[in-house]
Copies of this chain bind each other. A is one copy, B any other.
Amino acid sequence: MQEVLKYIAENRDTYIEELKDFLRIPSISTLEENKKDIHQCAEFVADKLKSAGLNRVEIFQTEGHPIVYGEWLGAPGKPTVLIYGHYDVQPVDPINLWDNPPFDPIIKDNKIYARGATDDKGQLYVHIKSVEALIKTFGSLPINVKFLIEGEEEIGSDHLEDFINSHLDLLKCDSVLVSDTSMYDEGVPTITYGLRGLAYMEVEITGPNKDLHSGSFGGAVANPINVLAGMIAKLHDKNNRVTIPGFYNDVQKLTKEERENFNKLRFSDKKISKSLNVAELNGEKGFTTLEKLWARPTLDCNGIWGGFIGKGAKTVIPSIATAKISMRLVPNQNPEKIAKQFTKYIKLLAPKSVKVKVSDLHGGWPYITPLNNPATVAAASALQKSFGKKTVFIREGGSIPIVTVFSRKLKAPTVLMGLGLNSENAHSPNEHFNLDHFSTGIKASAYFMEEYVK
């Protein structure tokens, strides 16, 4: 391994320059106007897989954004790992809060700043470079490797499941390796064994059939904004529990051991509230912050709009008010069932004076990884060797819906070897990625392939 580690160390600057090129492509998957960039980004990934030494690389078109596939299968009899990642990124608004243009990466304090730096381009690139380093050094890999890199993760991976279903042989593997989660803390090697799911809804309230003058009609007509606010308010009770009937029915209770493990991590509410500049944290009564984030379902408004939102005063009663409302789900909640429960309840909350339209924008299942499978054991060991510290096992509040598809369709466990940090502003202005985690991650990925065949 010394040779590989040396090769990785020597090429650090080149890797960073390449990552910058990757980050310069504004591959925002949710916006129509970035469609060309999405295609360019898929080409970029395919080129890099080719130059890493894979012996088959292909871009598959879908009804949505393209999927990039690559493979090196020169180790017959050895296990096969499928490395999954995504080249698409979140939108950049509010753009005015970025210190630097989001698609013009810069390095400050050993961190690279750009949209997609940590989610997921930087983390994904780690594995492309480790494969390259091993192939360039030894001419081969110790295991078989497949890459599956999609462009729709940030919009629900709508076409990936179909692709997997129709390419089960191509994607056959013993385990899936993903770096798209966070480390527990800087420099602390981490494997995430649980993910939350998601049910993301949009609720549109229509009152009068046109915008009205609030002088002429105010006081006699139900105002869609006030109505919507009242409905949203009713979605939580005074203990901050979600009030949707049946919402908690399928929630898997935390074991005593899990609660103890979480407590051992000595999570500091004070530190986090200070870093977010809030007077106190919040949430469901009766649970610690880590329990709330990792093992309890939630409901949050992700967007709301209606009426006059410009500068100044316009005395209008709007015709329409809209909110985006999403729920984070935990094992064993079912996103489809939750979406139905939500739809039924929100309609029930609406007064007769308005019309309600509910759209199910997307959903993802929650997930738990078995801890004793060989890939997880290899990853924990590889992380420990490269970072020089004991690997911790945590859960994660976010969703990677596709992980549950790997489990169901490929019958393969997923190892979440996250290299990001919660403080790296994924989905927010000034997203960045720690370059030490980038370099050490490349080493960890190379170690993983070694450890997997030990």
Among the 9-residue stretches A171-179, A335-343, A375-383, A419-427, the one with 4 or more Cβ atoms under 8 Å from chain B is A419-427
Count this chain's copies in the assembly: 2
Is A399 an interface residue when CB atoms closer than 8 A count as contact? Answer: yes
Rounded to whole angstroms, the CA-CA distance of A198 and B282 in the bound complex is 36
B277:A208 contact, CB within 8 angstroms:
yes
Is A226 an interface residue when CB atoms closer than 8 A count as contact? Answer: yes
B305:A305 contact, CB within 8 angstroms:
yes
Rounded to whole angstroms, the CA-CA distance of A187 and B219 in the bound complex is 26
Given known contacts A303-B307, A314-B303, A328-B219, A429 and B210 CB-to-CB distance under 8 angstroms: yes
A208:B97 contact, CB within 8 angstroms:
no
Within 8 A of B (CB), among A1-59: 30-31
Rounded to whole angstroms, the CA-CA distance of A312 and B91 in the bound complex is 10
The chain B residue sitting closest to A324, CB to CB, is B308
Within 8 A of B (CB), among A79-138: 90-91, 93-94, 97
**Quick one: which of B232, B312, B324 contacts A313, CB cutoff 8 A?**
B324
A233:B229 contact, CB within 8 angstroms:
yes
Rounded to whole angstroms, the CA-CA distance of A135 and B314 in the bound complex is 38
The chain B residue sitting closest to A233, CB to CB, is B233
Rounded to whole angstroms, the CA-CA distance of A233 and B326 in the bound complex is 20
Rounded to whole angstroms, the CA-CA distance of A419 and B234 in the bound complex is 44
Given known contacts A211-B94, A301-B307, A217 and B427 CB-to-CB distance under 8 angstroms: no
A281:B220 contact, CB within 8 angstroms:
yes
Is A278 an interface residue when CB atoms closer than 8 A count as contact? Answer: yes
Within 8 A of B (CB), among A313-340: 313-318, 321-324, 326, 328
Count of A interface residues, CB-CB < 8 Å: 100
Given known contacts A218-B328, A220-B292, A307-B303, A212 and B276 CB-to-CB distance under 8 angstroms: yes
B296:A30 contact, CB within 8 angstroms:
no
Q: Which of A276, A281, A292, A302 has the most CB of B within 10 A?
A: A302
Given known contacts A208-B277, A218-B298, A427-B314, A307 and B324 CB-to-CB distance under 8 angstroms: yes
Rounded to whole angstroms, the CA-CA distance of A218 and B200 in the bound complex is 13
B312:A155 contact, CB within 8 angstroms:
yes
Is A66 an interface residue when CB atoms closer than 8 A count as contact? Answer: no
Rounded to whole angstroms, the CA-CA distance of A112 and B228 in the bound complex is 35
Among the 9-residue stretches A245-253, A258-266, A350-358, the one with 4 or more Cβ atoms under 8 Å from chain B is A350-358
Rounded to whole angstroms, the CA-CA distance of A223 and B232 in the bound complex is 12
Given known contacts A276-B209, A283-B219, A308 and B302 CB-to-CB distance under 8 angstroms: yes
Shortest beta-carbon distance from A94 to chain B in Å = 7
Is A221 an interface residue when CB atoms closer than 8 A count as contact? Answer: yes
Rounded to whole angstroms, the CA-CA distance of A397 and B219 in the bound complex is 9
B233:A300 contact, CB within 8 angstroms:
no
Is A441 an interface residue when CB atoms closer than 8 A count as contact? Answer: no
**Chain B positions within 8 Å of A234 at CB level:** 233
Is A374 an interface residue when CB atoms closer than 8 A count as contact? Answer: no
Is A159 an interface residue when CB atoms closer than 8 A count as contact? Answer: no
A304:B209 contact, CB within 8 angstroms:
no
22 CB contacts below 8 A, A to B, read A30-B310, A30-B314, A198-B315, A209-B277, A210-B428, A213-B422, A213-B427, A215-B398, A218-B328, A221-B278, A221-B281, A221-B282, A225-B300, A226-B301, A230-B233, A302-B316, A303-B316, A303-B318, A304-B321, A305-B309, A309-B322, A312-B361
- Please provide the 5 A-B residue pairs with the shortest distance between their CB atoms, ordered closest to farther: A215-B398, A219-B298, A233-B233, A303-B307, A225-B301
